[in-house]
Amino acid sequence: MLFTLRRIVQEATQAEGLTNVLDLIVQRVHDALGVDVSSIYLLRPRSEQLTLRASFGLPEGAHLQQYEGLVALAAERAEPVLLADATSHSRYQRFPGSGEKPYRSFLGVPILHRRHLLGVLVVQSFDQHLFQEDHVAFLVTLAAQLAGVISSAEISGELGGDEIHDVCRNILVSGIPGSPGVGIGNAVVIFPDTELAAVPDRKPDSIDDEIALFREAVARVEADLQRIKEQLAGKLPSEDRALFDAYLMMLSSSSLIDGAVERIRGGNWAPGALRATFLEYQRYFDEMEDDYLRERATDIQDLGRRILEQLLTDGQKRPQYVDNTILVGRDISASQLAEVPTEKLAGLICTSGSGSSHVAILARALGVPAVMGATDLPVSRIDGIEVVVDGYQGAIYLRPEKSVRSEFERLAQEESELTQGLWSEARQPAITLDGDTIPVYINSGLKSDLMPAQRSMADGIGLYRTELPFMARERFPGEVEQAAIYERVLRSFPDHPVTLRTLDVGGDKPLSYFPIEEDNPFLGYRGIRISLDHPEIFLSQLRAMLLASRATANLNILFPMIGSMAELDDSLALLDRAQLELTEEGVEVPVPRVGVMIEVPSAVYLAEHLARKVDFLSIGTNDLVQYLLAVDRNNTRVADLYHDDHPAVLCAIEAIVDGGHRAGRPVSVCGEMASDPASMLLLLGAGVDSLSVSVAALPRIKWVIRSFSRERAAEIFAEARELLDPFSVRSLLNSALIDAGLGALVRAGKH
């Protein structure tokens, strides 16, 4: 059973186009369960009506309308409907004179995707019996696994059959809000250049040139294989060398190569045509019963990858960023994001991740609208098409209609007017109505978020993520190289504090040159744990920071992911050593202020003790929330369980602030909770001393601070502490903002 299930899911995942996917499923289910007929009903887009979309085993001229009432019943109940004699059920619809022999046994299983009904998978047989329990279990398992595939194929189908650029408009794809704002532009799909299945369709400039390129690439692969085969003659047994003959034969096969050429003639670029053709053949072999032949699918995949490697010139590996680029990819890294010229970047879409993933945080830092976790987006089919990114709602519109487009343009315009209105005031200090000045720092890490205009609004840098320059390189940067980077950052605010956080790689911030393979990366080897294991790397970073601070003497050093007193003690000991080494080398460096990030639950309980050993605490709510709520911040599936406003989070924040203050140390917040105008009110109310926010959020955050007194914020926090669910806290905050005349912040993006 498990094998059959896996095979069906694998084949359906690889099939292209909704019709192929559905036909394949009904046929495989029919064969696997030995039923008389199997069918799939899907909800029509934007309607409540279920319609038959595919069936297998239906005799000529027969129809299934009689059973539509029962299909609808499975949909309404959102659970399987199992009947030995469907014809005696009240929802069975008799059609006088239909004359068909009825199917008596019936099993309908709803197909649910992210709590939404997509359709119903049905099997029926003529004789009267109840389907066995393992048949029910089989279909339930299959429906659950195929829901995502069907949903994605449906959207792909709306984009248009095998035609690349068809005319279906306004296709809505849901995701998760990643960064607020509206972006309108054209999709530029980025893909790993070694992964054939990820290559997007694209229109070539010249079909003839594209065919020539393709043929040249094939010839180069052929020559390479021939050469390797000859080199291995006498070294490998002849049966192993036969593999090369098989590859060479495939390359000379007209169906494979001509198939790809045909697709180029149909208007796809060579890598896209290669993907479509080779995956089709791979699927064909995958489906074979014979083990030996099935193995050949892997050869086809390997061969396809070799041709792709030849095909993608360096120029093609680097995407062409058009004006108003909407950057689209499965995973987008910080360095890929940084590669797009800021003036060209209009939006970002990631099919994985969530609003708390690092790439979303960077998008917010850059003020670029983003949607994350758009799992159903058929990435390979959207390169070049017009897209609206609604970063408020987490929605994407492919080929928007004129009316939708202008509605979003209006929204974007209102937003930019609001921001501009707040921009000039943002240069003033953030003073509460009862006269408390709250330093507001910025979070940084990319060159582009340190522009002079932004600098004029902030009181310094509250979090500089040093891992970002590390990620942009191909090896660990040396001490001198690092010192130069840090000096530039420290000099950007020469008269204000600048907080450099020591390396926090791991989790969703990998270093290509320091790969870490783990089952649970966020609970694994990251942040200070790596630094303490590698004093040679840590010491050079600490020395570089100290050296960089000589001119400005404004350095704060922040340790990430501290979970125990021992980790802090060891980190401080290494910092002392770095200072001592420099003194011994005759270099005088100013003494930095030192802080600890509170982002691991154990540190919440140790806050007071940790604080006594350093100068300040900084709460990293991004990780703190993920660890407190056991919600992976990078996992799309659990993204709607991630809440800054969760009662447990508020309780933790209260404990940290109290602990820090008992030790006589200030407490700051550098997690994204500080950048959310509503949640930030809670931080103000909890007694946090300063905030570090994304540049794009800064004007709004200052506006909120100036509109409330500390006393009022404390009342709101006390009220929120009495509430037991995040949604009630959110509505309390929204009402408070509206009452204070800041309704524009609540309504932003509501359309």
HEC assignment per residue over 405-419: HHHHHHHHHHHHHHH
* 8 Å CB contact between 474 and 445: no
| Residue 355 touches ligand PEP, criterion: CB under 6 A | no
We find the least distance from the C-beta atom of residue 724 to ligand PEP, in angstroms, to be: 24
For the chain, the first-to-last Cα distance in angstroms comes to 48
Taking the C-alpha atoms of residue 99 and residue 87, their distance in angstroms, rounded to an integer, is: 14
319 makes contact, choosing from ligand PEP, Mg ion, none, with CB < 5 to 8 Å by partner type, with: none
- In the bound state with ligand PEP, the residue whose beta carbon lies nearer, of 81 and 611, is 611
Taking the C-alpha atoms of residue 396 and residue 725, their distance in angstroms, rounded to an integer, is: 29
* 8 Å CB contact between 618 and 670: yes
* 8 Å CB contact between 392 and 750: yes
| Residue 622 touches ligand PEP, criterion: CB under 6 A | yes
Residue 375's closest CA among 359, 396, 361, 401?
Answer: 396
Helix axis angle, 710-721 to 647-662, nearest 10°: 130
We find the least distance from the C-beta atom of residue 510 to ligand PEP, in angstroms, to be: 13
| Residue 620 touches Mg ion, criterion: CB under 5 A | yes
Among the listed ranges 131-139, 298-306, 621-629, 653-661, the one in contact with ligand PEP (CB under 6 A) is: 621-629
Token pair 């697709």 in the structure block, residue? 263
Q: Within 13 A of 618's CA, how many CA atoms are on the CB side?
A: 32
670 makes contact, choosing from Mg ion, ligand PEP, none, with CB < 5 to 8 Å by partner type, with: ligand PEP
Taking the C-alpha atoms of residue 252 and residue 109, their distance in angstroms, rounded to an integer, is: 46
Q: What residue type is 511 in one-letter code?
A: L
* 8 Å CB contact between 666 and 616: yes
| Residue 628 touches ligand PEP, criterion: CB under 6 A | no
* 8 Å CB contact between 675 and 694: yes
Residue 513: C-alpha distances to residues 283, 318, 381, 424, 501 (Å): 34, 21, 32, 43, 20
- In the bound state with Mg ion, the residue whose beta carbon lies nearer, of 210 and 599, is 599
53 makes contact, choosing from ligand PEP, Mg ion, none, with CB < 5 to 8 Å by partner type, with: none
**Residue with the CB atom nearest Mg ion in the bound state:** 623
- In the bound state with ligand PEP, the residue whose beta carbon lies nearer, of 14 and 621, is 621
| Residue 558 touches ligand PEP, criterion: CB under 6 A | no
We find the least distance from the C-beta atom of residue 499 to ligand PEP, in angstroms, to be: 11
| Residue 671 touches ligand PEP, criterion: CB under 6 A | yes
Q: Which of residues 286-325 bind ligand PEP (CB under 6 A)?
A: none
- In the bound state with Mg ion, the residue whose beta carbon lies nearer, of 570 and 623, is 623
Q: What residue type is 254 in one-letter code?
A: S
Residue 338's closest CA among 442, 467, 440, 463?
Answer: 467
465 makes contact, choosing from Mg ion, ligand PEP, none, with CB < 5 to 8 Å by partner type, with: ligand PEP
Taking the C-alpha atoms of residue 737 and residue 733, their distance in angstroms, rounded to an integer, is: 6
621 makes contact, choosing from ligand PEP, Mg ion, none, with CB < 5 to 8 Å by partner type, with: ligand PEP
> Exposure pattern of 417-436 as b/e (b: 16+ CB <10 Å)?
ebbeebeeebeeebebeeee
379 makes contact, choosing from Mg ion, ligand PEP, none, with CB < 5 to 8 Å by partner type, with: none
| Residue 623 touches ligand PEP, criterion: CB under 6 A | yes
Angle in degrees, CA 304, 307, 310, rounded to 5: 150
Contacts of 116 (CB under 8 A, 6+ apart): none
For Mg ion, how many residues bind (rule: CB under 5 A)? 3
- Figure out which of the listed residues 670, 713, 736, 745 binds ligand PEP, where binding follows CB under 6 A: 670
Residue 168 catalytic?
no
Contact pattern for Mg ion over residues 566 through 605, marking x by CB under 5 A: ---------------------------------x------
Catalytic residue among 30, 135, 646, 670: 670
Among the listed ranges 138-146, 228-236, 619-627, 729-737, the one in contact with Mg ion (CB under 5 A) is: 619-627
We find the least distance from the C-beta atom of residue 158 to Mg ion, in angstroms, to be: 39
Q: Which of residues 356-385 bind ligand PEP (CB under 6 A)?
A: 361
- In the bound state with Mg ion, the residue whose beta carbon lies nearer, of 138 and 441, is 441
Provide the phi-psi class of 224: left if phi over 0, else alpha when psi is between -120 and 50, else beta: alpha
We find the least distance from the C-beta atom of residue 560 to Mg ion, in angstroms, to be: 6
Residue 358 catalytic?
yes
The 8-class DSSP code of residue 749 comes to T
- In the bound state with ligand PEP, the residue whose beta carbon lies nearer, of 201 and 689, is 689
Catalytic residue among 113, 358, 643, 646: 358
Q: Within 13 A of 413's CA, how many CA atoms are on the CB side?
A: 6
| Residue 376 touches Mg ion, criterion: CB under 5 A | no
Q: What residue type is 116 in one-letter code?
A: H
Q: Which of residues 504-543 bind ligand PEP (CB under 6 A)?
A: 504
- Figure out which of the listed residues 599, 632, 644, 676 binds ligand PEP, where binding follows CB under 6 A: 599
For ligand PEP, how many residues bind (rule: CB under 6 A)? 11
The 8-class DSSP code of residue 437 comes to B
- Figure out which of the listed residues 620, 659, 660, 699 binds ligand PEP, where binding follows CB under 6 A: 620
Query: Rule CB under 6 A: which residues touch ligand PEP?
Result: 361, 463, 465, 504, 599, 620-623, 670-671
- The residue ranges that bind Mg ion (CB under 5 A) are 599, 620, 623
Active-site annotation, residues = 358, 670
